[in-house]
Structure 1
Amino acid sequence: MPGLSPRRTDPPSPSPTRTTATATAAATATATAPAATPSRPAAVPPPATSPPAPAPPPPPIEARYRVADTFPGGFIGELSIRNASRGDLGWVARVEYPGGRVVTAWLEGVPQGTFQDRRGTLVYRSGPDLAAGSAVALRFHVEFASSRPASCVVSGRPCGGL
């Protein structure tokens, strides 16, 4: 056409502002896009732990053996028996002297229980229950045996002092 100048046909250059904004948007999208992660099982909570067990209570009956007196052919043995519980308890003492003979047994200052000599084994059953926190002395006369017993238990618990 006459009088018209030819048009330019090359594409326009992108403006610097638009290029920077597009690059920034692309970088932001890449940074915030969640990364693909492999599938993993759900977290398993650690097993529940039980609280530590409380300390065992003291033995309800405590006994301590000693030799109170010696003489030719025999001796007087003694068990100091203490009720360490919070309630009154009965008890049974068993002291073994193989080959010996238990002549008699008695409690000091309290009502008596019952005693048996079974071929050198003293078995003494308390009379009235022993009050909580109190103690009693069981004495016994033994002949023809060592003053150290083969065994000594009170209500199933070993005696101290041996």
Structure 2
Amino acid sequence: MTTTPRDDDTTPAVPFAGESFDQGEAIQLYWESVRAKARIGRLAVYMGTDLSAAVAPPAWSFGDDPRLADELLGHVLTGRKTATSTALVEFGDEALPRVGELAILLDGAGHPRALVRTTAVETVRFDEVDEAFAAAEGEDDLSLGSWREQHEIYWRRVLGRDTVDPSTEIVLERFELLDPRVG
């Protein structure tokens, strides 16, 4: 596989446009290049003291289409977006995020671009989301009104419901960007 040149040892190689792309391999390469920033040392990985040290954390993208994934990832990379919200029903049988968990953020094409650590998680009703959280999501004009309008549109589309009820339970997650560092 031909790759773009690396700026340093922490930047994983990325295939040139038009080349085949193995997402699993790309995620593993990215994880190997950034796990020190997550304070998971090589000795722990080799010794196998914790499965999470050897296995890459979950990888996912924001939104429900490549354009939205790229837009929201861009906000994370500039430091504007430090939180995300998910309707509780979207988790299904999956566990909710927990403080301290790591995640690899993917761009709209499925390439790993960032490593984040969850710093806070709470479940609230849709009508209990406040201005501070809306601003931390880093979207639109950062207002609560805009947050409510845009998220109601999104969840109607994703969940297939006519409306989002004020009592709809929402999981609010705050995170810190570990890689690449802002500034």
Structure-1-length-normalised TM-score: 0.22
Q: TM-score, normalised to structure 2's length?
A: 0.20
- Whose Rg is larger? 1
**The structure with more helix, counted as a fraction of residues:** 2
